[in-house]
């Protein structure tokens, strides 16, 4: 940015004043309208300068340049104390790695499809496919998940494990089940182990879920804690893997809970819920403390990759799968954060599409997405919906095809 300070002020007191105020960035075309509104309400203001493409901060005062410094260097100064504290609070190697990333270029999203809202005709249907939003003690992602499936055209049901255990409801009536995110049993036994034990050690529940998973007209989704659960249940990447070789999710290499907005790439796979989204690079929320994909048998991971059963990966600003922190919050190999079954009916993901299925849930979007029309490989279109809504719409379309 390029700043021109008023001549009648002193630079240091002016820049470091703690009086009430804010800095507003706007498009040049809107300056007159914004100025008029501020004047109308008697709000004092000054046009400080302009945003520049160059990553440089230049401040001028009384015909002199009083500061000319690169933005990354300024950021490194500003965050130096926080960067040092990080080394005491997490894996110090990764803290140092993060401190070197002040010179990021920024994410580059890419759409390979046209995001569209669900037609009102479908939302108003009376006879909809039923999906069970399953939660356990400590789960906290059920409301967002319910909303996502509702806006995709499903009839979502709030189902607790106690409901299933006491047979107040069974899985026979549902086309889909979803294991939501959170911290079941506070992760006391490690991620999702308590939840997995409640199913695997109860013959009645174990058989109920086995019947559901093996019905050809059903699908399942596990997010975050639910993703960890599906791995422990042996649903993904395929059933029948010995426990000693079963892929699972363990503590993040950073040694702490990671919650941030990151970037992922969707690759070709049999996953029904990701159909038509291949090649897209999108922002998404992550929030987990144990999301590192651990494969006791390295060949198991190689086989899963060969079969296309690792459909989503964290990527860097260049769109390349990465293990580098903090592009990849858990350091999983090859950036992998999702597993799907060979037939594509079962999908387990660490990041949260249900917390990103509405555009206002995105903390940042490309400037071109804010305008009326967006240019992509699929042409010009009106961006009515978040790209992640398609994941849930795909599940409904698959159910429609299996009626």
* Full DSSP string of 261-320: EEEEEE---S-GGGTT-TT-EEEEEEEESS-EEE-SSHHHHHHHHHTT---EEEB-TTS-
Of 102, 323, 354, 399, catalytic: 354
Tokens representing 184?
Answer: 């079941």
User: Residues 102, 74: contact at Cβ < 8 Å?
Assistant: no
How many other CB atoms sit within 10 Å of the CB of residue 274? 24
Q: Is residue 148 a contact partner of residue 389, using CB atoms and an 8 Å limit?
A: yes
Find how far residue 142's CA is from the centre of its chain: 16
β-bridge pairing 219-223 and 346-349: parallel
Encoded tokens for 340: 């799907």
The answer to whether residues 364 and 108 touch, using CB atoms and an 8 Å cutoff, is: no
DSSP secondary structure string for all residues of 109-131: -B-SS---PPPHHHHT-SS--EE
Tokens at residue 174, please? 């549902």
- Only one residue has tokens 């009102």, namely 120
18 is catalytic: no
Residue 41 annotated in active site: no
Q: What is the CA radius of gyration of the chain?
A: 25
Query: 3-class secondary structure for 199-228?
Result: HHCCHHHHHHHHHHHHCCCCEEEEECHHHH
Owner of token pair 């230049």: 58
224 is catalytic: yes
Neighbouring C-beta atoms of residue 8, cutoff 10 Å: 7
Q: Distance between CA atoms of 62 and 82, rounded to whole angstroms?
A: 34
- Which of the residues 224, 227, 295, 399 is marked catalytic? 224
Alpha helices in 9-151 (DSSP H): 11-15, 31-40, 71-78, 80-89, 92-99, 120-123, 142-151
Q: Which of 144, 227, 352, 399 is catalytic?
A: 352
The whole-angstrom separation of Cα 378 and Cα 277 is 12
The whole-angstrom separation of Cα 302 and Cα 180 is 28
Active site residues: 224, 352, 354
């Amino acid at each position: 940015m390029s700043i021109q300070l008023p001549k009648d002020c002193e630079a240091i007191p002016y820049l470091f004043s703690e009086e009430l105020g804010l800095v507003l960035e706007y498009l040049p075309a809107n300056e007159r309208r914004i100025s008029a509104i501020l004047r109308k309400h008697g709000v004092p203001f000054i046009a400080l300068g302009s945003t520049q493409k160059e990553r440089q901060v230049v401040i001028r005062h009384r015909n002199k340049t009083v500061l000319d410094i690169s933005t990354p260097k300024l950021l490194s100064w500003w965050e130096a104390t926080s960067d040092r504290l990080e080394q005491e609070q997490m894996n110090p190697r990764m803290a140092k790695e993060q401190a070197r990333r002040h010179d990021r270029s920024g994410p580059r999203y890419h759409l390979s499809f046209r995001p569209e809202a669900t037609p009102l005709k479908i939302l108003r249907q009376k006879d909809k496919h039923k999906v069970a939003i399953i939660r356990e003690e400590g789960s906290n992602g059920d409301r967002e998940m319910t909303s996502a499936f509702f806006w995709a055209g499903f009839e979502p049901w709030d189902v607790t494990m106690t409901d299933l255990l006491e047979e107040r409801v069974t899985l026979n009536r549902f086309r889909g089940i979803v294991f939501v995110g959170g911290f079941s049993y506070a992760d006391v036994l490690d991620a999702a182990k308590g939840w997995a034990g409640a199913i695997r050690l109860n013959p009645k529940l174990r058989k109920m879920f086995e019947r559901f998973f093996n019905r050809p007209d059903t699908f399942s989704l596990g997010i975050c804690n639910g993703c960890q659960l599906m791995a422990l249940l042996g649903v993904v990447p395929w059933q029948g893997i010995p426990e000693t070789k079963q892929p699972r999710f363990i503590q993040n290499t950073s040694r702490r809970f990671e919650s941030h907005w990151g970037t992922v790439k969707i690759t070709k796979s049999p996953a029904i819920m990701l159909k038509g989204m291949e090649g897209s690079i999108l922002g998404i929320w992550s929030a987990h403390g144990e999301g590192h994909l651990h494969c006791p048998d390295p060949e198991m991971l190689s086989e899963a990759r060969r079969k296309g059963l690792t459909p989503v990966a964290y990527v860097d600003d260049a769109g390349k799968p990465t293990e580098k922190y903090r592009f990849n919050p858990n350091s999983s190999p090859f950036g992998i954060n999702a597993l799907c079954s060979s037939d594509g009916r079962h999908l387990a993901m660490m990041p949260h599409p249900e917390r990103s299925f509405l555009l206002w849930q995105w903390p940042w979007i490309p400037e071109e997405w804010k305008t009326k029309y967006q240019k992509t490989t699929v042409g010009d279109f009106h961006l009515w919906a978040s790209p992640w809504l398609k994941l849930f719409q795909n599940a409904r379309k698959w159910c429609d095809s299996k009626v």
